[in-house]
Chain A
Amino acid sequence: MLKIDNLHAGYGGTAVLHGISLHVAKGQVVSLIGSNGAGKSTTMRAVSGMIRPTAGAILLNDADVTGMESYEIARRGLAHSPEGRRVFPTLSVTDNLLLGAFPRFTGSRPKGDINADLERAIDLFPRLKERRTQLAGTLSGGEQQMLAMARAVMQNPDVMLFDEPSMGLAPILVEEVFRIIERLKQEGVTMLLVEQFAAAALNVSDYGYVLESGRINIHGPAEQLRNDPAVRAAYLGGSH
């Protein structure tokens, strides 16, 4: 479904990723774990076209999307819920959700039933229900995170990238985020997940990659990584 091969990327001449390869198969949840600054968000940005890779290839549904603009990659079925939520503050919750379905309105993605999906998104994220007409900028941080995830669901994508969906949330909301990821997984959604709570992320994942300074040295089935002493010591220490 999503295949990254020998990806190099960075910012204005500074290389951050030094040739990483990973694979997310259909229906799988894959975690990318690593310490702060390892390049997890950079990987996601390169995949979704927010930054242009300097070398390597990205395949989405077997099609080469390397170097495409982010709107083209989104229209080909990739949703990226970026670090820091990035909801549209001056638009209502409903409008934010409808914009997730933008390519479906314009015919560049299969239309499906947008209204039914709106109900489904609200159903998945019940906290948004009472706030449909509220401006996204006036939501609490947790609610904005829910909205950012719901907006990605509205894209009805083939692959979803979630970059730290639990960032800055109270523990009870962190649990809710993981419950939602679990539920999306049961619905068959393919996901690449970056989470500070690496242990919880590996619990919902099928496979994991460990990113260190822009390189992947360790990867394997989530079960195996959870029991790997080196991974445990470096990444699974404090988390639940």
Chain B
Amino acid sequence: MEVFLQIIFSGIAVGMIYAVIAFGYQLTFATSGTLNFSQGDALAFGALAGLSIVEHLHNYWLMIPVVMVVGALYGVMIERLGVRPALKIKSEGWIMATIALGIIVHNVAENIWGKDDLKFPSPVSEIPINILGANVLPMEIIVVFGALGLMLAVELFNRKSIYGKAVVATSADRDAAGLMGINTSLVIVFSYALSSLTAAFAGVLIAPLTLTGASMGAALGLKAFAVAIIGGLTSGLGVIVGGLILGITETATGFYISTGYKDVPGLILLLLVLAIKPAGLFGKTAIKKV
């Protein structure tokens, strides 16, 4: 029982990280039908930038808004260089362009911060708390609430503010949104900024729990992509459920079978969802172009 709880708790923390990155994929898909395949690199870049910023500010919490700005600028750059030119000529060039930009960022990060993994100082105690017999790190709790908090904040913005409504309108019908006087190109830039901000935020959330390095985002970005497909590219609830499913099955497989097979159930799940319900467990429209 205690082992089972331990698996659930660890799975939830990992799963929420997947969920929040997957949420980032959804943001750009909603407004533009495109995905930022360099989300994993945005995450790593955010974590590494966060590490350097913490060294200057000596405060993890003050670092977070700064990293968010860095992440947002990263997203603006990806949109300008990789996505807008492709959208203009209605091509699928954004796929290769965002992957290529991610590789460049990865290389730049390696040159700035080196190839070795770095230790990210934990802002909270690293002594586990005992919850119902399972050991939970305080940072894991912060991860869960941080991820949920960010998604909730975006959701509230979309529902309550006129700018958020403009984003929803652009997602629903870009031409009609333009007729309302909404600058839909700007909305797409904004969604890229928000999406990469989300990834950078996920980076500094997960960094104290893992090692920090230029390559830390590759597997996370890919798995979060699987979560976005499993949960559905249009459903906020879907990515949370998808993230939790993947996080928990991974942790369970790692414990009961072998850590070497940890990634297998998620991929099987992904293949099953694609075969049976391509729109994702909660999605309405199937991903067509990717």
Known contacts: A95-B165, A102-B162. The answer to whether A50 contacts B175 by CB under 8 A is yes
Shortest beta-carbon distance from A89 to chain B in Å: 6
Give the contact stretch, choosing among B80-88, B102-110, B181-189.
B181-189
Partner of B169, one of A80, A88, A109: A88
For B163, the chain A residues whose CB sits under 8 A away are: 106
Q: Which of A78-111 contact B (CB under 8 A)?
A: 79-80, 82, 86-91, 95, 98-100, 102-103, 105-106, 108-109
Bitwise interface map of A from 46 to 74 toward B, beta carbon under 8 Å scored 1, else 0: 00111000000000000000000111001
Interface check B121, CB cutoff 8 A: no
A69 to B177, CA, bound (A): 12
Bitwise interface map of B from 148 to 181 toward A, beta carbon under 8 Å scored 1, else 0: 0000000000000011011011011101111111
Partner of A75, one of B172, B177, B181, B184: B181
Partner of B179, one of A50, A105, A106: A50
- Closest B-chain residue to A74, C-beta based? B181
Check A102 against B182 for contact (C-beta < 8 Å).
Answer: yes
For B178, the chain A residues whose CB sits under 8 A away are: 49-50, 69-71, 74
Q: Is the interface of B mostly helix, strand, loop or mixed?
A: helix
Bitwise interface map of A from 155 to 166 toward B, beta carbon under 8 Å scored 1, else 0: 100000000000
For A71, the chain B residues whose CB sits under 8 A away are: 178-184
Check B180 against A99 for contact (C-beta < 8 Å).
Answer: yes
The CB with the most chain B CB atoms within 10 A, among A48, A74, A108, is that of A74
Shortest beta-carbon distance from A73 to chain B in Å: 9
Q: Which of B218-255 contact A (CB under 8 A)?
A: none
Interface check A40, CB cutoff 8 A: no
Shortest beta-carbon distance from B284 to chain A in Å: 10
Interface check A151, CB cutoff 8 A: yes
Shortest beta-carbon distance from A140 to chain B in Å: 19
A50 to B176, CA, bound (A): 9
For B179, the chain A residues whose CB sits under 8 A away are: 48, 50, 70-71, 74, 79-80, 82, 86
Check A90 against B166 for contact (C-beta < 8 Å).
Answer: no
For A90, the chain B residues whose CB sits under 8 A away are: 168, 171-172
A95 to B166, CA, bound (A): 10
Check B175 against A102 for contact (C-beta < 8 Å).
Answer: no
Check A69 against B169 for contact (C-beta < 8 Å).
Answer: no
A57 to B1, CA, bound (A): 75
The CB with the most chain B CB atoms within 10 A, among A82, A90, A108, A151, is that of A90
Known contacts: A75-B181, A102-B182, A155-B181. The answer to whether A86 contacts B175 by CB under 8 A is yes
Shortest beta-carbon distance from A96 to chain B in Å: 8
A87 to B172, CA, bound (A): 9
A91 to B166, CA, bound (A): 10
Check B172 against A74 for contact (C-beta < 8 Å).
Answer: no
Partner of B176, one of A88, A105, A106: A88
For B181, the chain A residues whose CB sits under 8 A away are: 71, 74-75, 102-103, 108-109, 155
- Closest B-chain residue to A105, C-beta based? B162
A105 to B182, CA, bound (A): 11
A82 to B168, CA, bound (A): 19
Partner of B162, one of A48, A88, A98: A98
For A99, the chain B residues whose CB sits under 8 A away are: 162, 165-166, 169, 177, 180, 182
28 pairs from A and B in contact (CB 8 Å cutoff) = A48-B179, A49-B178, A50-B179, A69-B178, A69-B183, A70-B175, A70-B179, A71-B179, A71-B182, A74-B180, A74-B181, A82-B175, A82-B176, A82-B179, A86-B173, A86-B176, A88-B172, A88-B177, A90-B168, A90-B171, A90-B172, A91-B169, A91-B172, A99-B162, A99-B177, A100-B180, A102-B180, A102-B181
A-B pairs with the 7 shortest C-beta distances?
A103-B181, A74-B181, A70-B178, A86-B176, A88-B172, A105-B162, A71-B183
Partner-B contacts on A (CB < 8 A):
48-50, 69-71, 74-75, 79-80, 82, 86-91, 95, 98-100, 102-103, 105-106, 108-109, 151, 155
New A-B contacts (6) at CB < 8 Å, excluding given A71-B184, A87-B176:
A49-B178, A69-B185, A88-B172, A90-B171, A90-B172, A91-B165
